[in-house]
Structure 1
Amino acid sequence: MQQRLFGLKEFGNIYSRIMNPTVDVFEKRIAALEGGIAAVAASSGQAAQFMAISALAHAGDNIVSTSNLYGGTYNQFKVLFPRLGITTKFVQGDNSADIAAAIDERTKAVYVETIGNPRYNVPDFEAIAKVAHDNGVPLVVDNTFGAGGYFCRPIEHGADIVVHSATKWIGGHGTTIGGVVVDSGKFDWGKHAARFPQFVEPSEGYHGLKFWETFGSLAFAIRVRVEILRDLGSALNPFAAQQLLLGLETLSLRAERHADNALALANWLRNNENVGWVSYPGLEDHPSHGIARRYLKRGFGGVLSFGVKGGAAAGSQVVDGFKLISNLANVGDSKTLAIHPWSTTHEQLAEQERLDSGVTEDAIRISVGTEHIDDIIADFTQSFKAFNATGA
């Protein structure tokens, strides 16, 4: 029995770094929510992202990614992966033609976010998936802002692999770090054996086992688990999995409230005399509104940005004046959170890179929580009142 488990001739629990019963329940539920064939949990969203890319690309390879990315993702792609010999071709925006032009024979993935952080652009998944597939490359989508499949299920629109920071809406309470990789099971690794030999050639670590031949549509998820997760060691611990499972029980209720509150707050801010601009895909004047209506069927997400008239200093003063809203870098919490991305989440990027990512110096990002909308607006009202009283 043990030899068959260790030799991958049977599925089962070997060691909690590779698989654990509680973590397994979490993985299966996420796979079901996303419409995938299997999922592999990780210790964080960054770890999940790293595992997915490192399973696809090796030294000398590249990935093609939109520049509209979370700052931590941008930095991982720009700084860490090149140290391992993997480069990223950043495309300005998410136009499928521009992405197609960047793909070459060493490209191993196309990467986008469901709702770009912090530009809130929504890519045309189907157009980008076609471009990727026409070139024999899988589409990887960070669906963190898609809230575990509630707002969007990218696999239904052509994505091959989905990653999440489960820390956000999946967990929902800002208490637990976790990540997950979801395999659609739809990418034909055998058809593209020349580009992805690691799935069809004998595995050195498993006595010549061939992942595609042995596991078929599960090949990617199995390889991520037994080669990448096993050796990287970025396992989700069982207690964290249990906390995330509790979060899943209220995901649909919370996500609906997040989206309703975000849209209401966006409209209120747009009509406030202290605010210069508001960015939220649920607003009709947002550049991605049309595409968002096509792909986000249950709401436009729970995060928005706005600029206070007077620039960064004025915005900082407004954030400091909040009493209910917390000044924190997380998103997807039940509590409403405010942050200044220019000096925090994207601070590691050069000025032009921040601008390319959609971060402006005056932008304040709000992760809208599940409090009553009247209480959220009341906190903005009192902070603006205090700000105006200073004569700033």
Structure 2
Amino acid sequence: MSETSYGFDTLQIHAGARPDPATGARQTPIYQSTAYVFRDADHAAALFNLQEVGYIYSRLTNPTVAVLQERIATLEGGIGAICCSSGHAAQIMALFPLMAPGRNVVVSTRLYGGTVTQMSQTIKRFGWSAKFVDFDDLDALKGAIDEDTRAIFCESIANPGGYITDLDAVSEVAQGAGLPLIVDNTSATPYLCRPIEHGATLVVHSLTKYLTGNGTVTGGCVVDSGTFDWSASDKFPSLSAPEPAYHGLKFHETFGPLAFTFHGIAIGLRDLGMTLNPQAAHYTLMGIETLSLRMERHVENAVKIAKWLEGDDRVDYVTYAGLESSPYHGRIERICPRGAGGLFTFAVKGGYDACVKLIDAVEIFSHVANLGDTRSLIIHSASTTHRQLESEQQRAAGAAPEVVRLSIGIEDADDLIADLDQALTKAVS
């Protein structure tokens, strides 16, 4: 595409894609190939020396995946992107060039349960650590940063409660400390929120959720803003210092704004091997073509259902930021101007046992460990996705025992309300 400024609806269909030069195929083909033929020995050497961009081996680069990377980077307003095998892989890929044994990342308490486990337990095996902070307390956030901190991490719309992070305030803290801000934008998608415009350095996604939108793909992505000065201090030697594996090449000096992107492919995918397969990339590309249409319907349905739940006597409270009663409602216009998403929780009167009965009684809602599907989904986080956490951690993450999480799909909202109504009757009777 030319450098003309196109709207989101156009870019979600066309960004990164061009007719296949060999066949004229209009839809991006699935390049199901492990390796690619070099023109000659000099061409191969140039590719391996990072002197030329091209395709070597599909663990590193693949034409179908490359289109997806360009499309997501364009929609997020980034300079480049690295697609990988899952959302959790994307989080490790984002941290990998920044961290080292003894270093820490400051993270929000409001995170998906699997991410809490990854940050509190798994990364210890790399010699890394995480400090959990309520990001509404900016003084606590500043106080948690020390000489070993290498990044700040949060979700734009937090899973499971639909809490909206004040990205402007958090990015100001990150910039003041000379640290990159990593934002998981899975629940919002770039249609509802573009974290880079609010100061984020890196944006991560689980492609598994709204971007694909149909429950067929497991994938992840890291988007590079290209705005961070990796050489401003000695904190990020992987990007600023000589790289032994490439004869002393300095990624930031050589690639400038694309330093993180090139490192993510040339080092991250090369050595960690968290590769996205081309068929999954193809499915995600097709999903993104309807992203704006789906997100509009997700939001429309979520608002209607959240309002109904808030007025029901069997419900204690609803966490949806799209409700005027939410303490985070005022952040929507600034952070998520197109709506607060389709994800939220509600507390059932009757506690844990009533939640379990509700889950077993629904008919349209699917009881699955996923979100962002066209289908409406329901789960009791305390007994599933957040089960490994202590009770205090569950409540801090918005996954208390009396709480059920909804991912509102694009079905008829009245049908979804009727399903919840009959299930609530069975749950609290």
Alpha-carbon distance between aligned partners in 1 of 2:245 and 2:136, rounded to the nearest angstrom? 38
The aligned residue for residue 160 of structure 1 is 201
| Selected match of 1:75 from 117, 123, 138 | 117
Q: Secondary structure of the residue that 1:145 maps to in structure 2? A: coil
Q: Secondary structure of the residue that 1:284 maps to in structure 2? A: coil
The aligned residue for residue 29 of structure 2 is none
- Amino acid in the other structure paired with 1:201: A
Alpha-carbon distance between aligned partners in 2 of 1:19 and 1:146, rounded to the nearest angstrom? 27
RMSD: 1.1
1:188-337 alignment, distance < 5 Å: 188-192=229-233, 194-337=234-377
Q: Secondary structure of the residue that 2:51 maps to in structure 1? A: coil
The aligned residue for residue 100 of structure 1 is 142
With the length of structure 2 as denominator, give the TM-score of the two structures.
0.88
Alpha-carbon distance between aligned partners in 2 of 1:225 and 1:351, rounded to the nearest angstrom? 39
Report the number of matched residues: 387
- Amino acid in the other structure paired with 1:114: S
The alpha carbon displacement at 1:115 in A equals 0.9
The aligned residue for residue 424 of structure 2 is 384
Instruction: Say if 1:66 and 1:94, in contact at 8 Å, map to a contact too.
Output: no
Alpha-carbon distance between aligned partners in 2 of 1:201 and 1:277, rounded to the nearest angstrom? 52
- Amino acid in the other structure paired with 2:223: V
With the length of structure 1 as denominator, give the TM-score of the two structures.
0.97
Name whichever of 222-231 and 237-246 sits farther off: 222-231
Alpha-carbon distance between aligned partners in 2 of 1:161 and 1:267, rounded to the nearest angstrom? 34
1:353-392 alignment, distance < 5 Å: 353-387=393-427, 392=429
The alpha carbon displacement at 1:95 in A equals 2.6
Does 2:231 correspond to 1:185?
Answer: no
Instruction: Say if 1:169 and 1:333, in contact at 8 Å, map to a contact too.
Output: yes
Q: Secondary structure of the residue that 1:187 maps to in structure 2? A: coil
Residue by residue, what CA displacement relative to the aligned partner does 1:38-59 show, whole Å, maximum 9, x if unpaired? Answer: 0000100000011101121111
The alpha carbon displacement at 1:143 in A equals 0.4
Instruction: Say if 2:109 and 2:397, in contact at 8 Å, map to a contact too.
Output: yes
**5+ long unaligned stretches in structure 2:** 1-42
Alpha-carbon distance between aligned partners in 2 of 1:358 and 1:384, rounded to the nearest angstrom? 21
The alpha carbon displacement at 1:387 in A equals 4.1
Does 2:128 correspond to 1:86?
Answer: yes
The runs of at least 4 consecutive aligned structure 1 residues that moved more than 6 Å come to none
Q: Secondary structure of the residue that 1:121 maps to in structure 2? A: coil
The alpha carbon displacement at 1:318 in A equals 1.6
Alpha-carbon distance between aligned partners in 2 of 1:278 and 1:121, rounded to the nearest angstrom? 11
Q: Secondary structure of the residue that 2:187 maps to in structure 1? A: helix
Does 2:179 correspond to 1:169?
Answer: no
The aligned residue for residue 4 of structure 1 is 46
Instruction: Say if 1:121 and 1:287, in contact at 8 Å, map to a contact too.
Output: no
